[in-house]
Amino acid sequence: MPTGHTLAIHTRTQDEEDLPHATKRTMADHLRKYETIFTLTPQRMRMITEAFKEALELGLQKPGQIVPMIPTFVFGWPTGQEKGEYLALDLGGTNLRVCLVSVQGDGKFEIAQSKYRLTEEQKQEDGQKLFDFCAECLKTFIDQNLTESDSPLHLKPGEKLPLGFTFSYPCAQDRIDHGVLIRWTKGFGAPNMEGHDVAEIFRKSLEKYDVPVVLSALINDTTGTLIASHYVNPKTKIAVIFGTGCNAAYMEHVSNIEKIKSLNIDSSTDMAINCEWGAFDSFEHEHLPRTKYDITVDEDSNKPKEQAFEKLISGRYLGEILRLVLCELIDEAVLFLGQNTYKIEVPYAFDTAFLSLMESDPTDELLMIIGIFSHFFALETTLAERQFFRALAKLIGRRAARLSACGIAAIVDKMGYLETEEPCLVGADGSLYNKYPGFADRIHEGLVDIFGEKGRRIVTHHAEDGSGVGSAIIAAMTKARRDAGLYPDL
Ligand code: BGC
């Protein structure tokens, strides 16, 4: 071309041999290199587990530690006999959900819900505005479902329903209906909220829109998942979420939570802990095996150095890690020579859902992968390249699952859950856990690598909807506790 640029002309019907693609051999060589850096040996996993356990213990001793181990003021397990009608509002990483939950006892419940998608602007803008939107959605839901005289639950004038607010971000709590946002995670960023009591900010929005509810509990999604899973299956001991973000919760003995000693809570009581384990190894980066792609993800994120564990595991980042590897191979002139690569060079253009799709492509020709690359990125691929992409997705997905196993193992080991013959059930939720092929199996394999055969006694299962049902059960437990005069100010 006159400008000195080269122009590659290709069409969909053009035979792939016409483009200068990498050979099968080259792709295999590259794969070996990535295998080395993304693979975690059992020994390394045991070391990570040990360091993780120490971080969990430290978090229980003192406030403000890297893994914050947040006391939730959810006292002990549900009885299974909780009953009543509760509203639940769920503000997660992607959606906003309003639920009406009828908790019926004996592990039964019914739920009616509406979902709203959050826009990117809403995630970054003024926090009060975001909460105003939540209050408006709640108001609309109530108007549509609870004010008609023929609705199953008819709200009388002046009556207020208890609300459980599931806010899936780290909040330091001094009592159950309060929480100071420590930091946004999962790419959220409304600047004026960190360091403030989100329950208070939300109450202002509720007042502004005159929403007939009382905010009775502010909960984390993992705490909700823990309680909902236990309500349905009392063998559940831990809850984990592997979605846009990742986290875990479990039930701790108050006597082990040194940092709340001054509250004089009866030491034989138990309290759920929201670990916020996504923060493990933040700042110091001493324990986790970070590749240069992970370091780029971190440095280019809106919270560099923070959420170190989450950045290797959660759905928000896995697609980006794979994309960075592809971009490196584009720069090294290995991939997509002569093709226009601008679409794949956009940060976060490669969704984590593509990794799931690539891994589950059932065809020999890997037609799904052809589709992803041609449809979303206007790129032609050869079979050898597609096999490489799939293998790379597997390495990144497998590493995420094996690191997740280290986190679970740390809690199990700390609590001595393998010291009895009983199975240790782990309620798990989130898009990666639910949709990524083989994610659960890889966690289980990882647990056997860490603990040997007895690791088989730790079994993850798809959890009940923690943010809806769990939140409602916690609202019910809180009401019962306060009515009984048990720590009414907490
Ligand atoms: C948040 C946690 C949440 C997890 C799963 C993380 O980014 O910090 O509070 O439980 O995502 O949604």
pLDDT in tens, 379-417: 999 999 999 999 999 999 999 999 999 999 999 999 999
d(C-alpha 468, C-alpha 218), whole Å? 12
The pLDDT, as a whole number, for residue 13 is 40
- Bridge-partner residues for 99, per DSSP? 88, 113
| Pocket flag, ligand 1, residue 278 (CB < 6 Å) | yes
In the predicted structure, residue 12 carries a pLDDT above the cut 70: no
The pLDDT, as a whole number, for residue 122 is 84
Q: How many CB atoms lie within 10 A of CB 123?
A: 16
Q: Which residues, including other chains, have CB under 8 Å from residue 37's CB and lie 6 or more apart?
A: 289, 291
d(C-alpha 485, C-alpha 490), whole Å? 11
Is 183 catalytic? The answer is yes
Nearest protein CA to atom 12 of ligand 1, as residue:
245
Domains and CATH numbers, the chain: 75-232+464-477 (3.30.420.40)
When pLDDT is averaged across residues 42-66 and rounded to a whole number, the result is: 97
Is 168 catalytic? The answer is yes
| Pocket flag, ligand 1, residue 72 (CB < 6 Å) | no
In the predicted structure, residue 469 carries a pLDDT above the cut 70: yes
The pLDDT, as a whole number, for residue 4 is 43
Nearest protein CA to atom 11 of ligand 1, as residue:
245
Exactly one of 97, 132, 177, 183 is catalytic; name it: 183
Q: What is the pTM of this model?
A: 0.93
Atom of ligand 1 nearest to the CA of 170: 9
Mutate to test the pocket of ligand 1, among 165, 180, 222, 316 (most ligand atoms within 8 A of CB): 222
| Pocket flag, ligand 1, residue 282 (CB < 6 Å) | no
| Pocket flag, ligand 1, residue 471 (CB < 6 Å) | no
Instruction: Give backbone dihedrals phi and psi of 26, rounded to 5 degrees, phi first.
Output: -60, -45
d(C-alpha 197, C-alpha 201), whole Å? 7
In the predicted structure, residue 14 carries a pLDDT above the cut 60: no
Nearest protein CA to atom 9 of ligand 1, as residue:
169
Most confidently modeled range among 102-116, 138-152, 199-213: 199-213
Nearest protein CA to atom 2 of ligand 1, as residue:
169
Exactly one of 221, 281, 294, 361 is catalytic; name it: 221
In the predicted structure, residue 16 carries a pLDDT above the cut 70: no
| Pocket flag, ligand 1, residue 223 (CB < 6 Å) | no
Q: Which residues, including other chains, have CB under 8 Å from residue 454's CB and lie 6 or more apart?
A: 418
In the predicted structure, residue 121 carries a pLDDT above the cut 90: no
When pLDDT is averaged across residues 12-41 and rounded to a whole number, the result is: 81
Q: One-letter amino acid identity for 171?
A: C
Nearest protein CA to atom 3 of ligand 1, as residue:
168
Tracing tokens 């071309």 back to the chain, one arrives at 1
Q: Range with the lowest mean pLDDT among 13-27, 45-59, 189-203, 421-435? A: 13-27
The pLDDT, as a whole number, for residue 65 is 96
The pLDDT, as a whole number, for residue 95 is 84
The pLDDT, as a whole number, for residue 5 is 47
Q: Range with the lowest mean pLDDT among 175-189, 283-297, 343-357? A: 175-189
Per-residue pLDDT band at 17 (split at 50, 70, 90): low
Average pLDDT, the chain: 92
Report the first-to-last Cα separation within the chain, whole angstroms: 73
Describe the strand order of the beta sheet including 458-462 as a list of residue ranges.
70-75, 270-274, 246-253, 236-242, 424-429, 458-462
d(C-alpha 261, C-alpha 105), whole Å? 33
Is 106 catalytic? The answer is no
Q: State in Å: Cα 245 to ligand 1 middle.
A: 5
Atom of ligand 1 nearest to the CA of 171: 9
Mutate to test the pocket of ligand 1, among 218, 244, 247, 275 (most ligand atoms within 8 A of CB): 247
Mutate to test the pocket of ligand 1, among 72, 220, 240 (most ligand atoms within 8 A of CB): 220
In the predicted structure, residue 422 carries a pLDDT above the cut 70: yes
Per-residue pLDDT band at 140 (split at 50, 70, 90): very high
Joined together, the tokens standing for residue 212 give 């007939």
pLDDT digits (tens, 9 = 90+) for 212-268: 999 999 999 999 999 999 988 999 999 999 999 999 999 999 999 999 999 999 989
Atom of ligand 1 nearest to the CA of 167: 9
In the predicted structure, residue 146 carries a pLDDT above the cut 90: no
pLDDT digits (tens, 9 = 90+) for 266-284: 989 999 999 999 999 999 9
pLDDT > 90: what percent of the chain? Answer: 77
In the predicted structure, residue 308 carries a pLDDT above the cut 60: yes
The pLDDT, as a whole number, for residue 18 is 67
The pLDDT, as a whole number, for residue 159 is 86
The pLDDT, as a whole number, for residue 305 is 96
The pLDDT, as a whole number, for residue 266 is 92
The pLDDT, as a whole number, for residue 8 is 42
The pLDDT, as a whole number, for residue 15 is 44
Atom of ligand 1 nearest to the CA of 245: 11
When pLDDT is averaged across residues 469-481 and rounded to a whole number, the result is: 92
Higher local confidence (pLDDT), 237 or 118: 237
21-38: burial string, b at 16+ Cβ within 10 Å, e else: bbeeebbeebeeebeeeb
| Pocket flag, ligand 1, residue 470 (CB < 6 Å) | no
Nearest protein CA to atom 8 of ligand 1, as residue:
169
| Pocket flag, ligand 1, residue 315 (CB < 6 Å) | no
Exactly one of 90, 132, 168, 390 is catalytic; name it: 168
The pLDDT, as a whole number, for residue 6 is 43
Q: State in Å: Cα 214 to ligand 1 middle.
A: 24
Q: State in Å: Cα 185 to ligand 1 middle.
A: 7
